[in-house]
């Protein structure tokens, strides 16, 4: 069941929160020993909270909906391990703002999903539920796998480069990175504060929109296309040549099919300033991450992985003037790129390089997602097709900064036209 279906069934009394919780716990028990999507689940705690939700007369917008929470987002009743031995059994006295908002809406936090170490570049132990020898992507690997494998209908992730959209693409689910700053990040372990964004992962756009509205207080938005067709800009970006044929075909096929359905499609290029984004991303990410992890680097350096250590060492070597110059270049690109939306409603672009990579040593190329992370625009991955080996492939839609509801409304229409690729149901 989708989160919306669960919420409606609980509201009508045809399903109890406890029954939903038991079903999810049964699935986790059967599958997570193989996939390792969850870092922490306490069945007794889950069932206790589900029974408490059943006893309440008032029903919230997510009442009884089980949600996984990425293990860099603090919770008061579950440890937050950050994917690192440094924080083993760490328990906060408070919930992150986003977790508290979900609980207020009646959501059931079913557990903490596995993250790459400090949401960084080192791969996690989570496997891809489609083919176990393929990466699930990073760093929100556990959240993507848990949703794709029907352990939970929804999960929170975070994105600093591509950590919501890429694992959603590799695992064949819907992944939404909202506009920077719209979902409060208090209680989320910082990686790069000027880029960090809380995202939502699910199996349909309707569930994503419902969760986004809970977390922001937004009202529903319907897009009326009777007066004019929806305008989509086909934006291949500088990363296009690095995409596999299946990813390029997914985007071009979507453009053809949407044009046949009455959408207006035009080709657009990012401004020349965007060519700096691969470089600025590494400067900003490493500089800010090194300073955000000053305590861990000073006191627990030997417990940090070699891959993350290299990023921190690089960040500490970056001079302030180089960091400030990177910020200025990105700010200029944001202004120039925003003009693309003067003629289109959304951009259509690749989500990832292609199918999930074989092996677990590399979580994938962030260039297809970090463009939009730096530009702070909302973006959503839609699982519309599959690649040559049957693994999920899809498309990414991008909206104007702070026009998230418009993006979600059109994305729902696009996915209904193109059709969704299959999730895993073993």
Catalytic positions: 70, 139, 163
d(CA 8, CA 61) in angstroms, rounded, equals 9
Task: Report the run of H or E that residue 277 belongs to, with start and end.
Answer: helix 277-292
Question: Beta-carbon neighbour count of residue 254 at 10 Å?
Answer: 24
Q: Name every residue whose Cβ is closer than 8 Å to that of residue 420 and which is 6 or more positions away in sequence.
A: 203, 204, 382, 383, 384
d(CA 205, CA 175) in angstroms, rounded, equals 9
Count of residues for the chain?
426
What is the DSSP-derived secondary structure letter of residue 178?
Answer: -
Contact 120, 308 (CB under 8 A): yes
Contact 3, 211 (CB under 8 A): yes
Dig out the tokens for 109 from the structure. Answer: 């936090």
User: Can you say whether residue 67 is alpha, beta or left, with left for phi > 0 and alpha for psi between -120 and 50 degrees?
Assistant: beta
d(CA 287, CA 322) in angstroms, rounded, equals 10
Three-class SS of residue 423?
Answer: coil
Contact 318, 291 (CB under 8 A): no
Q: Which residue stretches of 293-366 are H helix?
A: 294-299, 306-317, 320-338
d(CA 241, CA 226) in angstroms, rounded, equals 36
Sign of torsion over alpha carbons 39, 42, 48, 50: positive
Burial class of residue 308 in the structure, from the number of CB atoms within 10 Å of its CB (0-12 exposed, 13-18 middle, 19+ buried) = buried
Q: Name every residue whose Cβ is closer than 8 Å to that of residue 298 and which is 6 or more positions away in sequence.
A: none
């Amino acid at each position: 069941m989708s989160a919306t279906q669960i919420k409606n069934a609980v509201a009508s009394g045809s399903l109890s929160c406890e029954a939903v919780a038991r079903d999810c716990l049964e699935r986790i028990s059967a599958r997570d020993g193989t996939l390792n999507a969850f870092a922490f689940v306490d069945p007794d705690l889950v069932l206790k909270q589900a029974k408490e939700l059943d006893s309440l007369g008032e029903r919230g917008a997510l009442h009884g909906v089980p949600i996984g929470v990425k293990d860099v987002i603090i919770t008061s009743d579950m440890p937050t391990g950050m994917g690192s031995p440094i924080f083993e059994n760490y328990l906060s006295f408070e919930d992150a703002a986003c977790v508290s908002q979900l609980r207020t809406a009646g959501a059931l936090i079913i557990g903490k999903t596995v993250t790459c170490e400090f949401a960084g570049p080192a791969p996690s132990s989570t496997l891809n539920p489609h083919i176990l020898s393929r990466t699930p992507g990073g760093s929100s690997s556990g959240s993507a796998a848990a949703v794709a494998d029907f352990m939970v209908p929804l999960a929170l992730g975070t994105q600093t480069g591509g950590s919501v959209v890429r694992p959603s693409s590799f695992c064949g689910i819907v992944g939404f990175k909202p506009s920077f700053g719209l979902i409060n990040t208090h209680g989320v372990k910082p990686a790069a504060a000027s880029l960090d964004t809380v995202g939502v992962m699910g199996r349909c756009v309707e569930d994503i929109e419902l969760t986004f509205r809970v977390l922001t207080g937004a009202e529903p938005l319907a897009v009326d296309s009777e007066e004019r067709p929806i305008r989509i800009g086909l934006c291949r970006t500088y990363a296009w040549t690095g995409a596999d044929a299946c990813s390029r075909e997914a985007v071009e096929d979507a453009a053809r099919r949407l044009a046949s359905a009455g959408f207006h499609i035009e080709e657009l290029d990012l401004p020349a300033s965007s060519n700096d984004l691969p470089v600025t991303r590494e400067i900003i990410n490493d500089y800010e991450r090194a300073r955000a992890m000053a305590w861990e680097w000073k006191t627990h350096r030997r417990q940090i992985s070699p891959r993350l250590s290299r990023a921190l060492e690089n960040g500490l070597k970056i001079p302030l003037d180089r960091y400030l110059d990177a910020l200025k270049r990105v700010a200029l690109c944001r202004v120039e790129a925003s003009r693309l939306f003067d003629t289109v409603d959304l951009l259509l672009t690749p989500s990832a390089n292609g199918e999930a990579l074989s092996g677990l040593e590399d979580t994938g190329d962030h260039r297809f997602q970090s463009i939009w992370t730096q530009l702070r625009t909302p973006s959503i991955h839609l699982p519309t097709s599959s690649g040559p080996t049957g693994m999920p492939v899809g498309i990414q839609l991008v909206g104007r900064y702070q026009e998230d509801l418009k993006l979600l409304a059109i994305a729902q229409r696009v996915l209904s036209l193109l059709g969704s690729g299959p999730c895993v149901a073993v």
